[in-house]
Amino acid sequence: MSVAEAGQFYLSVMCKSNKVADSMNASVEAHPFVLAAADRDTALYRDAIKASIQQLSAPPRAWPDVVAADVNAFLDGLYGELTHAASAALSTTQQGYFAEWNAWNNPSAPDPSHVAAQKIRLKLGLSADAVASCGP
């Protein structure tokens, strides 16, 4: 697939899960926090990430060489996202949810999937801003 086609395909897959992530983040940041809503939205994110992994792992044509290794690194990072989302979605207490959330979103260590995503975006000529590149 060409670089332009790869960019279109990447956005067609990732914009869907990014929108689900926005909903999950809103649930987590809600005041008051509602565990049932956070668990629900995190489960939806888990499912969206699983779908993204499946789609990115089986593109219509091979990824361009310029991003093939980065896509593989991104997929490895997404498996981590999937693991954390699956655990958080099963939380039965607010304390348990936030313990998993904090382990998942450690600000002292960049998320490998986020780093790989930025490499892909740069090499495919996409905006570094995931929100802006997906539109409203």
Q: Determine how many CB atoms are found less than 10 A away from the CB of residue 61.
A: 10
Averaged pLDDT for residues 24-50: 97
Smallest CA-to-CA distance from 68 within 125, 6, 115 is with: 6
Q: How many domains does the chain have?
A: 1
pLDDT tens digits for range 90-125: 999 999 999 999 988 877 778 889 999 999 999 999
128: pLDDT strictly greater than 80: yes
d(CA 85, CA 25): 12
Q: Is 80 exceeded by the pLDDT of residue 84? A: yes
pLDDT band at 136 (very low <50, low <70, confident <90, very high): confident
pTM of the entire predicted model? 0.92
The pair of three-digit structure tokens given for residue 107, joined into one six-digit string: 């600000």
DSSP secondary structure code for residue 29 in this structure: H
Q: Cβ contacts of residue 50 below 8 Å, gap of 6+?
A: 82
Q: Helix/strand/coil (H, E, C) string of 61-109?
A: CCCCHHHHHHHHHHHHHHHHHHHHHHHHHCCCCHHHHHHHHHHHCCCCC
**Which residue range is the domain that position 26 belongs to?**
3-134
